[in-house]
Amino acid sequence: MLYRENGQFKSTYASDQQMLPIAQDRVFMVLLLAFAFIGVPLVTSDYVFLSLLIPFLILTLAAIGLNLLVGYCGQISIGHAAFMAVGAYAAYNLVLRVPQLNFLVVLLLAGLIAAVIGVLFGIPSLRIKGLYLAVATLAAQFFSDWMFARVKWFTNYAHSGSVQTAPIELFGWTVETPVEKYLFLLAVLVVFTLVAKNLVRGHIGREWMAMRDMDVAAEVIGIRPVYAKLTAFAVSAFYCGVAGALWGFVYLGSWEPLAFNLNLSLNLLFMIIIGGMGSLLGSYFGAAFIVALPILLDQVPIWLGVPISTATSAHLALMIFGALIVFFLIVEPHGLARLWAIGKEKLRLWPFPH
């Protein structure tokens, strides 16, 4: 069956507004999900889960969060790891101090706390834009670096400053092995992706994009910048808060404040630039790329029989990121997701390109 939408007439607006209006896309999505939930666990090694898939899933979630703010609402932030830190420490303290809470509730609360902090640090966006806003968001980063290192209550007065967590438990299920962690994270990510998709195709999403594309016109049609920008900060920080809690509990297990430093914030930005601003799919591509590239640079030379030192491969990774970021910023601001879309458009016409 060729990839076509011809002949698939939409008789109602409801069917036209489906997430995937083309039947082939729906089939593809079902197969992809089946593969991710059933196929992958059957064929994948623990190493791949731990070093590749688990960080990929969590970082995708964080990248979606950042993308909602930067790519959809047009407000830059270079301090988003701060909201991950808030989420992680909020979850840590909730589990520590209210142990009877279900972990899903902990996750939501951690996200909500991050959302509140996100709104606070979003307030400057009401007055300033672009570079100035970017610098202002750094304040979030420095503040969280300082707070979680200095205010000992957050780390429960641990001497080393690092906190430990036990494997999470959900309705009697202990999420412990790599496969279990993967399945849990995958389920969370699927749900959060759906929610993000609903938001960006609903009226709040249109308000965000309107602010991004032409703020004067947005105001003239009645959109309130305060509401649009602060909801974007809130939702974005919520996503990053949840991602931060997962990063701490599921990926790291134990961590210190440095785990959420500026480096992570910048990596999140690289993900959405490379993957594609204003694209949920792009967040997946970007996170996959950032997680996979260093590992490939470590492994490929070994397969090829020309091992290079870890230092060299780390430098190489940085250089490749740098070059790609410049490339995407100049040539294709919509990133890998746009290249994917172009490919799909070609496929729609294939094999008759004219």
Partner 1 sequence: MTARAHPIGGVILAVEGVSLAFGGVQALREVSFDVREHEVRAIIGPNGAGKSSMLNVINGVYHPQQGTIRYLGREYHDMDSHEVAASGISRTFQNLALFKGMTVLDNIMAGRNLKMRTNLLLQALRIGPALREELEHREAVERIIDFLEIQAYRKIPVGRLPYGLQKRVDLARALAMEPRLLLLDEPMAGMNVEEKQDMCRFILDVNDQFGTTIVLIEHDMGVVMDISDRVVVLDYGRKIGDGTPDDVRANQAVIDAYLGVSH
Subset of 266-285 contacting partner 1 (CB under 8 A): 278
Residue 17 binds to partner 1 (criterion: CB under 8 A): yes
Binding test (CB under 8 A) with partner 1, winner from 129, 224, 315, 344:
224
Interface positions, 137-156, toward partner 1 (CB under 8 A)? none
Q: Which of residues 184-203 bind partner 1 (CB under 8 A)?
A: 195, 198-199, 202-203
By CB under 8 A, residue 206 contacts partner 1: yes
d(CA 141, CA 131): 16
- Give 173's strand partners: 170
**What is the nearest approach in angstroms of partner 1 to the Cβ of residue 198?**
4
Residue span binding partner 1 (CB under 8 A) among the ranges 101-109, 213-221, 244-252, 306-314: 213-221
Residue 263, Cα to own-chain centre: how many angstroms? Answer: 15
Of 234 and 250, CB closest to partner 1: 234
CA distances from 198 to 25, 101, 277 (A): 17, 28, 17
What is the token pair recorded at 65?
């969060």
Q: Which is nearer to partner 1, 25 or 256 (CB)?
A: 25
Task: Give the distance, in angstroms, between the CA of residue 35 and the centroid of all CA atoms in the same chain.
Answer: 21
Using the rule CB under 8 A, give the single segment among 101-109, 205-213, 242-250, 319-327 that binds partner 1: 205-213
239 touches 58 (CB < 8 A): no
Angle between helices 54-67 and 280-303 (to 10 degrees): 140
Helix intervals (H) in the chain = 13-16, 23-34, 40-43, 46-48, 54-67, 81-97, 103-122, 130-150, 178-201, 203-213, 215-220, 225-246, 262-275, 280-303, 310-331, 335-349
Dist. CA 289–CA 100, nearest whole Å: 38
220 touches partner 1 by CB under 8 A: yes
130 vs 202 by CB, closer to partner 1: 202
Does position 235 interact with partner 1 (CB under 8 A)? The reply is yes
Contact pattern from residue 56 through residue 85 relative to partner 1, giving x for each residue in contact according to CB under 8 A and a dash for the rest: ------------------------------
User: Could you say whether residue 22 binds partner 1 (CB under 8 A)?
Assistant: no
- Interacting residue ranges for partner 1, rule: CB under 8 A: 13-14, 17, 195, 198-199, 202-204, 206-207, 209-210, 212-214, 216-224, 231, 235, 278
